[in-house]
Structure 1
Amino acid sequence: MSFSQDVKTEITQKKITRPCCLLAASYGAACFSRYFDSRGVVFQTELGTAAHYVKRIFHLCGIEGSVTSKPRPNGMVYEFKVDEPEQVRLMLEKFHCDPEQVSLRIDPTLLRCPQCSAAFLAAAFVCCGTMTDPKKEYNLEFLSNRHNLARDLEGILAEHEFRPHRTLRKGVNVVYIKASEQIEELLAFMGAGNAAMEIMNHKVIKELRNKTNRLTNCETANMDKTATANVQVTRAIEYLKQNHMFDGLSQPLREAAELRLAWPDLSLSQLAEKSPQPISKSGLSHRLKKLERLASELQQRRTNG
């Protein structure tokens, strides 16, 4: 299953016990189903557990519906439906819906407590939500063909400080959240605590991987820098030897040169430790740079002369 389906499955496994929250969850499922009007409600999904979840919460509210499955080329599609006239009448009554203006706006009086809002959002996500795999990016969305419902949903999310955004994509209203911290909090709020924890784990792994890469890149850069410096000094020393300047160097410079030639791959710190005479890293660096400068000056004189 996809990460989005995992989130929905986790939500459907959570039990709702408070009558007001069951009503809010059922209302959220109705508002964001495929159809919701005076003829009833139809919710379609590829996730069988989602269809049966909606049927269960409607049943616990006293509204009876049915679940059927239909084969499609890309898999089964499950459909929950309330279309029996008496059940439709009862549903519209419980949801405070005018048969002529069903689902145009979200009725805030049906969200009577913070848990009601959580149940409403959770059921809405099961019916119209999607969540990108956090390994790729952070993005949680609610999709609806009804403009006013999307706007009201954005308001509910904003009231709980989830900082949503809203846009229109190919004629569909999209309410979305991209901040990982906000997504984690919303998932936990809707009852998908395991999914929220998985996002946190992915973030920790990603941060550790990035830190490791930074350290590796830094070490590689330092190694490249050391190797380049070593080659430059070695060439300078060889140039001085080829031009019979080596024997005229002071003893400290000759010792530094011989040390570098003997250990061409060592870093300055390692090379200083190999010196028979005590010398600091900075002291050794100074002598090697002087050798490079002498070779450069000699080369310039020969070029100009």
Structure 2
Amino acid sequence: MARNKYGRRRVLVTGGAGFLGSHLIDRLLDRGDEVLCVDNLFTGDKSNIDHLVGHTRFEFMRHDVCFPLYVEVDEIFNLACPASPVHYQHDPVQTTKTSVLGAINMLGLAKRLRVPIFQASTSEVYGDPEIHPQTEDYWGNVNPIGIRSCYDEGKRCAETLFFDYLRQHDLDIKVARIFNTYGPRMHASDGRVVSNFIVQALQGHDITIFGDGSQTRSFCYVDDLVEGFIRFMEAGPDVHGPINIGNPHEFTIRELAEKVIEMTGSTSKLIQLPLPADDPTQRQPNIGEARKHLDNWEPKVQLEEGLRRTIAYFADKV
């Protein structure tokens, strides 16, 4: 791995003021890297990186990845994109631009510098899957014109660009498909199920379940996910992915809601609302490729422990 004149890696993290990006930056700084955090703060929040202000190896730049970026770095983690339905449906055109133009600009930078680049893709590329659990060779079942398409198809197109840069320019790419992730620094109103349930329970409000709550998700604690990112980037130039990174333990939405009520001691009641359009009924990763290529990576934080830490975070916020 290339290093700068001080013997340290200089790492670019786009979307670095977001939930995942800020945790990744903490980990990179802990291992001794210099980090350039780039974020336009559309959904990112400076409070996620306030604790890094004044850190000698941390730099923040407000910038939109839809426009070219001219910097000198040794690695790129491209995490820039709204990742919750509330946020990416707020401005769907901008969401698609961020996924596609952002990928083009960051790939162009990586090509110029000849450095490895990591793409934070998503399990949403599988759409409402017809196979279960999802393996990386599954092409997906995605509605190209629905209300979630700006995100789903934007990420699918970004993957296409990454693999075309691999084939056409021999670029060292890493494409990770991220499954549901939770933990401290989630946005309280981003519409994701874990943060929704915890905030509603702590405030004593009814907990809203879409449909009958039988749809399933697999929840990975953020520390485990970041460990997967680090191992993927360190896996060498022959490991490109795509690789699923998530927790293979599957829970129904109703089970999650009941667990949150129990752990918060809330008196909240469950109420059912109609399912949103194109909402997947099942989501569970097969992580065989991650175990094989990422030094036997697999999640270690169990759901109850992860929820305990996340509830403690939100208890100070609401």
Query: With structure 2 as the length reference, what TM-score do the two structures score?
Result: 0.24
Q: Which has the higher contact order (CA 8 A, sep 6+)?
A: 2
